[in-house]
């Protein structure tokens, strides 16, 4: 299945240093995609932990909607030409 993946960070070989790219994925759900990115390992990206839960302070959008507001959350089924955006949220302090 081919989707558009974008991010504000370098998240491994699937996306590389590009900030947006059309990619082919093996899985069917958002959780599957995140596991694929984590399994890549080339950039030590661990978006999900061993249980498959989000392990970062990040915002993930599917076609502009936050994943946690979608009916199935991380288990939302992706479709051909969906757009997934992963945004690492900057930490502030002082």
Alpha carbon distance 7, 44 (integer Å): 16
pLDDT along the chain (94 residues), means of 10: 88 67 92 81 65 81 95 95 89 62
Q: What is the pLDDT of residue 70?
A: 95
Delimit the domains of the chain by residue range.
2-88
Nearest in space to 67 (alpha carbons), one of 45, 47, 91, 46:
47
Write down how long the chain is.
94
Q: Which two tokens stand for residue 69?
A: 């507001």
Check if the beta carbon of residue 27 is closer than 8 Å to that of residue 14: no
Query: For the structural domain made of 2-88, what CATH number should be given?
Result: 3.10.20.30
């Amino acid at each position: 299945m081919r989707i558009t993946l974008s991010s504000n960070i370098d998240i491994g070989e699937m996306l590389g240093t590009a900030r947006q790219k059309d990619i082919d994925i093996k899985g069917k759900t958002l959780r599957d995609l995140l596991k694929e990115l984590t399994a890549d390992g080339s950039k030590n990206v661990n978006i999900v932990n061993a249980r498959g839960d989000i392990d970062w302070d990040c915002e993930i959008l599917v076609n502009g909607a936050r994943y946690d507001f979608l009916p199935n959350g991380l288990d939302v089924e992706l479709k051909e030409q969906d757009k997934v955006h992963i945004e690492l949220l900057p930490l502030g302090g002082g």
